[in-house]
Structure 1
Amino acid sequence: MMALLEVNGLVKHFVAQRSLFGRPLAHVRAVDGVSFSLQAGKTLALVGESGCGKSTISRLVLRLIEPDAGTIRFDGRDLLALDAGGLRAFRREAQIIFQDPYASLNPRMTVGQILTEPLALHDLVPPAQRRARVAELLRLVGLEPRLARRYPHEFSGGQRQRIAIARALAVEPKLIICDEPVSALDVSIRAQILNLLRELQDRLGLAYIFVSHDLAVVKHIADQVAVMNLGQIVETAEADALFAAPRHPYSRALLSAIPLPQPKAKRTTVLLEGEIPSALNPPAGCRFHTRCPFVIERCRSEAPKLTADGTGHAAACHRTAELPSADAILPVAGGFSPALARLVAAFSQKTEGRSSAGVGIQDTASTTK
């Protein structure tokens, strides 16, 4: 089955410094050769530290910014070849939910006006039927239609994010990019929003790219996880496989940083020494070698390739086969906060017996165990 979204060799460098005559002198390598694919109805999570390039990828996929190299195909179409009319049509099929619900809604517009605007721009619903469509969208995200007359400042953060989700759904998209949609919300509200996103995906067949730094949340919403470091994907696998047996030292460090609310719970913490290298001048070889506890001389000179095994679990590390067991660094059973424990219970029945992830990383050298 053809993937809904295919990204190959995506590159984006931002000019950081210019000469007196405007010639670029330095570039920030925000995204450097990223490839992946996503099937309809599935969720790919992009995770990593701030500045790793995950949000830049989101904007490149939507063509909010233009890439320097690479290809993006959506539903069989080359997005980079679309003219203004084609790009406008694509906007109907791909939407984004921003991180901050307090800043993503126009404070001068009522909720009804906010939700009517995309309907009018794309001429999706006749004017006489738009009020009914707004009411339907509000019900879809768990809000009462009478709230359409209110302004954004009259709502809580969780309610505002529901409104932002309703706005994204107004044009009936196939893909929604969730750019840290719950990071600004309380933990208990996060569970509600994540439940809503999962229910909408099951009902409408939506595909998600879920950008987050919170691995405890990612574990329970993603079908596939791609771990990013300094503009590159260093590991990718189905969510269950990556959380059970991470194969890259950077992934292990991120997992070991998940807080354990049980005071007496013990595990090994992977401490990374040194500062994060600058994307202006990334180190030669493996870009993680300056902080890696397993570094060898080869890592300093030769960049590892993202290599997949027979199951599709891929890692870009020279020493994957030599790393010690990850059992000691993984969160212990029941090691989540009470709110996240409820989240686990809410998703447990839905995740059992689900089909294959439907998300893959491309251009990987396949090796068989």
Structure 2
Amino acid sequence: MQRVSFRFPTAIRFGSGARASLAELRDAHGVERPLLVTDAGLTKTPAYSLVQSTMDEVWDDAWHVFSGVHPNPLEGDADAGYAAYKEGECDAVIGLGGGSALDGAKAIVLRIGAPEGPLTDVDTSKLPDVIVPLCAIPTTAGTGSETGRSTVFTAASHGRKVVIGCPALLPQLAILDPELTVSLPAHLTAATGMDAMTHAIESFVCPVFHPFCDGVALEAVYRVRRFLPRAVADGNDIEARGEMLVAAAMGATAFQKDLGAAHSLAHPLSSEHGAHHGLANAIVLPHVVRFNGEVDSMQYARVAIALGLQVDEDPAELVASFLEQFNASIGITQRLRDIGVPEDALPTLAKKALLDPCHATNPRPCSEADLLALYKKSY
């Protein structure tokens, strides 16, 4: 019998108005001067105004904001955020926004724990489980970073996206408030939702024994299938918005198990060409499913069932075809050429994808040639 570790200590507060749970940071963790981490665009949204009001109610004017996180976070964002943390004499970090803002907040926490040197050189095994109190408040339903233990950013020393994970990056509190997601445009609702779908599918077929994560992943697949079209069609559908927040959090919880080749393909598309991560995942995922299905199609049978499909002799093709139709139904393009990726960039992208660790747990091993072929099929 294999050994399994499933550690999930994050407290989750879910529901309309759940942002009021910020008071728990003050009351349960003794936080007096938090740093709110977000991006510049979010500060102009209704979601920010709602959270700002709650921050004022809980801490009056004894809180600070850092809004310098890039759409695809850079290692320099962590340095700038750390400077703001020190200048404000802060004692906690609150991430507010989509996956980029939450990853930025986690990178700042990592920098607080390791003030010197490249973040990629940090020995995470020597960090305490809690560096400073960390709260995550998503305004999109996709990355699920609020329940994940990793941060993704472009490292200056590597020239590509890197993933760093450790218990210290797991938020103590996650606040899932659907009222903060209603203003998200339909195209971003679709792209972020497909990020959650990719997390769930890739973690389920990842060849690691982890039945706890498997169950969570399949439930996430079911919820994205059921509620993402509703959230795209009507941004004010609070039930659909809430269910998508749950699905995203479940997807990230499931990838404690690990991910696969779709993420290795998607990461360079973001770092090199600015592609939205969820959109990149959505485009390449059907092709990765077919690629994996060539050696074992039946591993996708339970995914097909979670999607509401009647399983046949080739579940991988069934799932891949469904994903293409699902993408089209929510307005997602099927081709990399449509998001501005030049064809002559594909060989370089394949080299960078090979360096990404996610494909190491893909159910079918990937060579550079395989990754290039997948890019070409997605083009």
Larger proportion of helix: 2
Is the strand fraction higher in 1 or 2?
1
Instruction: Name the TM-score class by shorter chain.
Output: 0.3 to 0.5
In our comparison, the structure showing a higher alpha carbon Rg is 1
TM superposition score normalised by structure 2? 0.32
Q: Which fold has the larger relative contact order, with Cα–Cα distance below 8 Å and residues 6 or more apart in sequence?
A: 1
